[in-house]
Amino acid sequence: MKNSQNITWHHSSVSKKERHVRNGHKSCVLWFTGLSGSGKSTLANAVDYALFQEGCRSYVLDGDNIRHGLNSDLSFRPADRKENIRRIGEVAKLFVDSGIIVSSAFISPFQGDRELVRQMFETGEFVEIFVKCPIEVCEIRDPKGLYKKARQGEISEFTGISSPYETPDTPEIVIESHHLTIAQSVELIKKYLKDKKIL
Amino acid sequence: MKNSQNITWHHSSVSKKERHVRNGHKSCVLWFTGLSGSGKSTLANAVDYALFQEGCRSYVLDGDNIRHGLNSDLSFRPADRKENIRRIGEVAKLFVDSGIIVSSAFISPFQGDRELVRQMFETGEFVEIFVKCPIEVCEIRDPKGLYKKARQGEISEFTGISSPYETPDTPEIVIESHHLTIAQSVELIKKYLKDKKIL
Q: Look up the CATH number of the domain holding residue B76.
A: 3.40.50.300
Interchain proximity A65–B179, CB inside 8 Å: no
Give the count of beta carbons closer than 10 Å to the beta carbon of residue A25.
Answer: 22
Residue A72's pLDDT is: 93
In this model, does residue B68 exceed pLDDT 60?
Answer: yes
Spatial separation of the C-alpha atoms in residues A93 and A110, rounded to whole Å:
19
What Cα–Cα distance (Å) separates residue A185 from each residue in A42, A48, A50, A63?
Answer: 11, 12, 11, 21
Query: What percent of chain B is modeled with pLDDT above 90?
Result: 87
Q: What angle do CA B39, B44, B49 make, to 5 degrees?
A: 125
In this model, does residue B3 exceed pLDDT 50?
Answer: no
Query: B11 pLDDT band (50/70/90 cuts)?
Result: low
In this model, does residue A7 exceed pLDDT 70?
Answer: no
Q: Which residues of A touch B140 (CB under 8 A)?
A: 1, 4
Average pLDDT (B41-62) is 96
Q: Is residue B171 part of a domain?
A: yes
Q: Is residue B40 part of a domain?
A: yes
Average pLDDT (B69-80) is 90
Q: Is residue B95 part of a domain?
A: yes
Q: Do residues A131 and A40 touch, judged by C-beta distance below 8 A?
A: yes
Residue B10's pLDDT is: 58
Active-site hit among A27, A38, A58, A108: A108
Q: Is residue B28 part of a domain?
A: yes
Query: A10 pLDDT band (50/70/90 cuts)?
Result: low
Q: Which residues of A touch B182 (CB under 8 A)?
A: 7, 9-10
In this model, does residue B198 exceed pLDDT 80?
Answer: yes
* Tens digits of residue pLDDT in B133-169: 999 999 999 988 999 999 999 998 899 999 999 999 9
Interface ipTM: 0.94
State how far residue B120 is from chain A, nearest Cα, in angstroms. 9
DSSP conformation class of A9: -
* Tens digits of residue pLDDT in A123-137: 999 999 999 999 999
* Tens digits of residue pLDDT in A166-178: 999 999 999 999 9
Nearest beta carbon to residue B94 from set A65, A136, A179: A65
A108 in catalytic set: yes
* Tens digits of residue pLDDT in B117-136: 999 999 999 999 999 999 99
* Tens digits of residue pLDDT in B94-111: 999 999 999 999 999 999
Q: Which residues of A touch B20 (CB under 8 A)?
A: none
Average pLDDT (A71-94) is 94
Which pTM does this prediction carry?
0.94
Residue B76's pLDDT is: 81
Range of the domain at B56: 23-132+166-195
Q: Do residues A84 and A106 touch, judged by C-beta distance below 8 A?
A: yes
Average pLDDT (A25-42) is 97
Query: A9 pLDDT band (50/70/90 cuts)?
Result: low
Query: A2 pLDDT band (50/70/90 cuts)?
Result: very low
Helices (H), chain A: 2-6, 16-23, 40-53, 63-65, 78-97, 111-118, 135-141, 146-151, 182-195
- Residue-averaged pLDDT of chain A: 93
Number of domains making up chain A: 1
Q: Is residue B114 part of a domain?
A: yes
- Chain A residue with minimum CA distance to B120: A69
